[in-house]
Amino acid sequence: MPVLKENQAELRDWAEYLLQYPADQEHHYHEVRSGWVWVWRVRSTAQIPPGKELFFPGLQQIVEIHRHKTHKRTGVRVQETGLYVTSLSPAQADATTLARISRGHWAIENRLHHKRDVALGEDACRTRKAAQAMAALRNLLLGFLHQLGVPVLRTI
């Protein structure tokens, strides 16, 4: 069954209400990277109200990930909060594991886009009509080079 936007909004409102209270699990993560201090707070709950799992088959947990980063030199602060649902039970993935999964997703995403931009100049490309075809060709080229064992970017 497809998830309708009104169902997503209803679940988001319920999750925000529920996560005002102490979560079932909480994990904090700190990292200093490129002059920024990153702080993550991951909270999860498995208290799913009856009927909500119908909109998200297999729903086991609702997760809130609050991230903020502060620039060490300028003091500029950026923050965001995301609400997520997962079919992983608390026994399969506690708050620490969910934080690691989320950070791992962005590491993969950043590595791929870094190669596409630096090695192939994707951000500088102004092709608009054939952008999807160009992206497919870039992916094909990167995959081909990877299979040959050719390093695409030098690491120092």
pLDDT digits (tens, 9 = 90+) for 74-93: 999 999 888 888 889 999 99
Average pLDDT of the segment spanning 90-110: 82
Please give the Cα distance from 138 to 122 (Å, whole number): 9
Query: What pLDDT, on the 0 to 100 scale, is given for residue 43?
Result: 87
Q: Is the pLDDT score of 56 beyond 80?
A: no
- Choose among 66, 67, 48, 68: nearest CA to 58: 48
Average pLDDT of the segment spanning 89-110: 82
Q: Is the pLDDT score of 98 beyond 60?
A: yes
Average pLDDT of the segment spanning 86-109: 83
